A and B are shown apart, each in its own frame.
Chain A
Amino acid sequence: MKISTLILRSMRKNIKHYYLYFFALIFSAALYFSFVTLQHNDAIDQLTQSSIKAGAGFKVGAVMLVIIVFFFVFYANQLFLKRRSKEIGLYQIVGMPKSTISYILALENLLLWVAALVAGILIGFLFSRFFALIFLKIIHVDGLVMLDFSFIALVQTLIVFAGLFIIVLIQTTWVVNRSTLLQLFHTTSNSEQKMKKMNPIQLILGAVGLAAIVYGYYLSTTIFNINESANENTLFIKMGVVLASVIIGTYFVFRFSIALIMNAIRSSKNGHLSLKDVLAVSPIMHRMKSNALSLSIITVLTALALTVLSLSSITYYSIGAQIEQYTPYDMSVANDEDSAFEKSLQAKEINYKTDHYELLNVPIDFTPVMKNEEAKQASKGNQYSDTIVLKESDVKKKLPSISLNKNEAYILGYNSIFQKIMPLEIGNQMKLRVNNSIKHLKLIGVEAKNSVPSEITYGGKKTIVLSDQLFNQIKTNKQILKQTGWRTYTGYTITNSEQMDKAISIYKKSTKGGIFTSHSKGDFAPEEQFSIKSETYKHSLENIGLLIFVTGFLGLAFLLATGSILYFKQMTEAEEERESFKTLRKIGFTTDEIMKGIRRKQLFSFGIPLVVGVCHSYFAVKSGWMLFGTELVIPLVVTIGIYIVLYSIFAILSTKYYRKIVNDSLPQ
């Protein structure tokens, strides 16, 4: 018999083993190809060309995708080789040299890969259309993207998969060369070590694992707290410690803690196990040692995917609120340079509303209202910072709930980042300096919104509202007036949104694109360009939409990869336990009774990595979400919810597979 016949026959015989691996390959190729097709699509390229970030996002996404695909294919091949170890052993027994076996496996792999790539690229091409639609939906663009078959994408996919193929060949050759006959025949039946009594060291390590995770969680909540040595280095060190302790803790939990708990449950039964224990607890304990590493990896990947997805959905969800905070009005006019603009608006019969503000630039000392010592320390030596001050009656038009007595003040623009790094004590006295006299101001409230744009507040700093009486008193001071760059601000709201485009073009024409000159003669350039709300919104939507699309795509890839690996694992375990199911059926347990135990095992196998992963990502998101957006709960719950639903599909598939195996184990 020629080797080619042998290969074809063995492939036909082993189709059951292959289809899993084959599926993994097709899926990887499809995912990668559709992503790269999108990356090289002209229409999307034009959409995203405007920003360098967009192109970079796609590039980083493609690299991440290669890593995921590599991990996935590598794992699938490993499982595949394990399943076929008997066959490899048989070839060796009949005297085939290892080099020939590797050669056969390589040829088989080549056939599989070529077929999978062709199928994957076709499927990927169809999918890319679907993904493009989703992408446009996210960035609120209506329109059809025509997708041509991209040859660059094809070549890129082929190169990447050729590289992966070489790695898989090396892996295969290595496994074949390293293996001894004895091992090969025992990998499926006896790969697991027998259960040993728990010794004290394992007990301690189990406890250490839990402690490490709790410590990591605790540390993560303090990561953005300011302290005297706060700088980027300590931040990164802290992040590193959190990551390390959580990851190591996760492994220890899987390796020791869970076995510890299960061991306690099992010993307490003194041999009188229920069928659920027989089918769930004991097989899990049996495999814990070899499964610990892969379960930890899956957990960490799940946590990573969930964190990235949650953060990007928080960003996306918060676009509106963020823009509202930094650009509260449709259009802006500063220092009353607005005569031409308003006249043109009236001439074109565009309906609008204006809010007019008087502004002052006053040095204020915030340290007395700061809650934590670290923040006070940080501003030591430079307590007084120039702050934009507004008048109560002006602000009331935008924020009607504010009401002040003479020596009271309100802080605006106190957003989620400030809340985190600089908690304030409401009711304390701030200090306001006019010339050399100091006035005390009682802080009576804070507000995340602001009523003047970030161009006025030097990039989104806090703003203070004073009572009209006090404001007018300070205004008379020449020194203060002199150091005030922006003396007035007018915010325009176009009441009829259909006239928005017209209004914008008028605005640009009459204000040279929104440029105004400040009175200040300090370090800042006197000219400042004010942003237009709807344009900023569109721009952010495109940027952040791209971000959420790329992370969403990667999240999906993570989800599919981890879900499939768990599913493959369960399939393999189901095959291994087939004999046990047969025995149980013979001695008189029904399929339904057995399935109860199986379901519990699935709940554990899929549930524990998910629950631990969700916990990890919750703490990760909680520690830094305020840098990404203004809303935590809704995007977090929605993201995790969707993830759980998609993830459970794999658990359901796996349970179905088990039912089939249990059912088929006896003829009736």
Chain B
Amino acid sequence: MEILKGRKIKKIYGKKQSAQEVLKGIDLDVEAGEYVGIMGPSGSGKTTLLNVLCSIDNPTQGTIEINGQMLQKMKSKQLASFRRTEMGFIFQDYNLLDTLTVKENILLPLAVGKTNEKEAENRCQELAKQLGIVDLLKKYPNELSGGQKQRTAAARALIIKPSIVFADEPTGALDSKAASSLLENLASLNKTNGATIMMVTHDPVAASYCSRVLFLKDGQIYTQLYKGDKKRTQFFQDIMHTQGVLGGDGYED
């Protein structure tokens, strides 16, 4: 089943004369349970694409359907409530609220509307266990390490059982150990909970955890790689190779 369907997505910034076409007509489908990575050199439009797909930004042209619902037909209030009930978000700089404890942060998306408190409590405990942050629930974000913060953000993204999780450079601010531990967590959530994840990254290691990786270049999809039955290390090699072809040097940012 297709969770996300994007058609002819264009995004143009600026006024007519200085207009810059960042996305040049992208078609994209994501199946339920997929773990899709988006890679590409700086300025290729990765983050813009993600923002447009998750309705934080409007496309200039084109349509996006999530779970059979056309985003362009919704008003901004509907969009907001759709985001709250159907999408999870993980950002590079965590975006936790400093004034809330870890637990309160995780439960934040449920702060409006009726939710069964008992059910929410169970789900929170379960996610905390899966992500290894049970002992941190009563702490405040400024008492946590980067990795712990990002795992809190992941739990917050998944508390509502979203149709799809959007992650924008989730490992960008983490050291390699914290990054790999978070990526393991995301991969296992993808596998055991069947969460659909879409992740923007410039890190080939992070991308190698995905089941499919899209490569963007100059606002268009350049190519895509499937992991298939390959081992992660093998997939990593493939990604490195494609990146080499794509942008010259592999690690640019």
Residues of A bordering B, CB below 8 Å: 190, 192, 194-195, 270-275, 277-278, 282-283, 285-286, 579-580, 582-590, 592-593, 666-668
Contacts and interface: CB of A to CB of B under 8 A. Distances in A.
8 contacts: A271-B101, A271-B104, A271-B107, A271-B124, A272-B117, A278-B111, A583-B96, A588-B84
A586 B54 CA distance: 9
Give the most central of A273, A275, A586: most B CB within 10 Å: A586
A588 B80 contact: yes
A588 B81 contact: yes
A666 to B, nearest CB: 7
A282 B100 contact: yes
Contacts of B82: 588
A668 B156 CA distance: 23
A586 B89 contact: yes
Nearest to A583: B95
A270 B118 CA distance: 11
A277 B143 CA distance: 22
Contacts of A668: 56-58, 76, 79
B238 to A, nearest CB: 33
Interface size class of B (residues with CB under 8 A): 35 or more
B87 interface: yes
Given A194-B140, A593-B112, 15 more contacts: A271-B101, A272-B110, A273-B111, A274-B112, A275-B112, A282-B100, A286-B99, A585-B80, A587-B89, A587-B109, A588-B80, A589-B84, A589-B112, A593-B80, A667-B56
Interface of B: 56-58, 76-77, 79-85, 87, 89, 91, 95-101, 103-104, 106-112, 117, 120-121, 124, 137, 140, 142-143, 156
A272 B156 CA distance: 13
Nearest to B96: A583
Give the most central of A278, A282, A283: most B CB within 10 Å: A278
B108 A278 contact: yes
Contacts of B108: 273, 278, 584, 587
B84 A283 contact: no
Judged by DSSP, the binding face of B is helix
A667 B103 contact: no
A590 B98 contact: no
B112 A582 contact: no
B84 A194 contact: no
B99 A272 contact: no
Contacts of B85: 588
Nearest 6 A-B pairs (CB), nearest first? A588-B84, A588-B83, A271-B103, A583-B95, A275-B111, A282-B99
Nearest to B56: A586
A586 B83 contact: yes
Given A588-B80, A590-B81, A278 B109 contact: no
A353 to B, nearest CB: 74
Contact of B57 (A283, A583, A667): A667
A588 B84 CA distance: 4
Contacts of B107: 271-273
A598 to B, nearest CB: 14
A278 B58 contact: no
Contacts of A278: 97, 99-100, 104, 108, 111
Contacts of B120: 272
Give the most central of B84, B85, B106, B140: most A CB within 10 Å: B84
Given A271-B104, A273-B104, A275-B112, A590 B76 contact: yes
Nearest to B54: A586
A323 to B, nearest CB: 59
B111 A583 contact: no
B84 A580 contact: no
Contacts of A271: 101, 103-104, 106-107, 121, 124, 137
B101 to A, nearest CB: 7
Given A190-B142, A585-B80, A587-B83, A282 B111 contact: no
Contacts of A666: 56
Given A273-B107, A587-B89, A194 B95 contact: no
A190 B143 CA distance: 12
Given A273-B104, A579-B95, A593-B112, A587 B84 contact: yes
A270 B138 CA distance: 10
Contacts of B96: 583
Given A271-B103, A272-B110, A587-B89, A286 B98 contact: yes
A281 to B, nearest CB: 9
A393 to B, nearest CB: 78
Contacts of B101: 271
B51 to A, nearest CB: 9
Contacts of A584: 97, 108
A221 B91 CA distance: 59
Contacts of B110: 272
Nearest to B76: A668
B111 A194 contact: no
A491 B38 CA distance: 101
Contacts of A579: 95
Contacts of B95: 579, 582-583, 586
A666 B76 CA distance: 11
Nearest to B139: A194
Nearest to A581: B97
Contacts of B140: 194-195
Contact of B80 (A190, A270, A582, A590): A590
A583 B109 contact: no
Contacts of B112: 274-275, 589, 593
Contacts of A274: 111-112
Contacts of A273: 100, 104, 107-108, 111
Contacts of A589: 80, 84, 111-112
A577 to B, nearest CB: 9
A271 B111 CA distance: 10
Nearest to A585: B80
A136 to B, nearest CB: 52
Nearest to A192: B98
B214 to A, nearest CB: 22
B152 to A, nearest CB: 12
Contacts of B79: 668
A189 to B, nearest CB: 9
B171 to A, nearest CB: 19
Nearest to B106: A271
Nearest to A284: B99
A597 to B, nearest CB: 9
Contacts of B83: 586-588
Nearest to A190: B142
A105 B26 CA distance: 52
Nearest to B124: A271
B13 to A, nearest CB: 11
Give the most central of A194, A585, A588, A668: most B CB within 10 Å: A588
A277 B100 CA distance: 10
Contact of B87 (A192, A588, A592, A667): A588
A258 to B, nearest CB: 15
A272 B143 CA distance: 21
A589 B156 CA distance: 14
A283 B95 CA distance: 16
Contacts of A285: 99
A213 to B, nearest CB: 28
Contacts of A275: 111-112
A500 to B, nearest CB: 69
A580 B97 CA distance: 6
A579 B95 CA distance: 8
A213 B82 CA distance: 49
A667 B55 CA distance: 11
B23 to A, nearest CB: 15
Contacts of A282: 97, 99-100, 104
Contacts of A582: 95
Nearest to A197: B138
A157 B57 CA distance: 53
Contacts of B137: 271
Contacts of A592: 77
A388 to B, nearest CB: 70
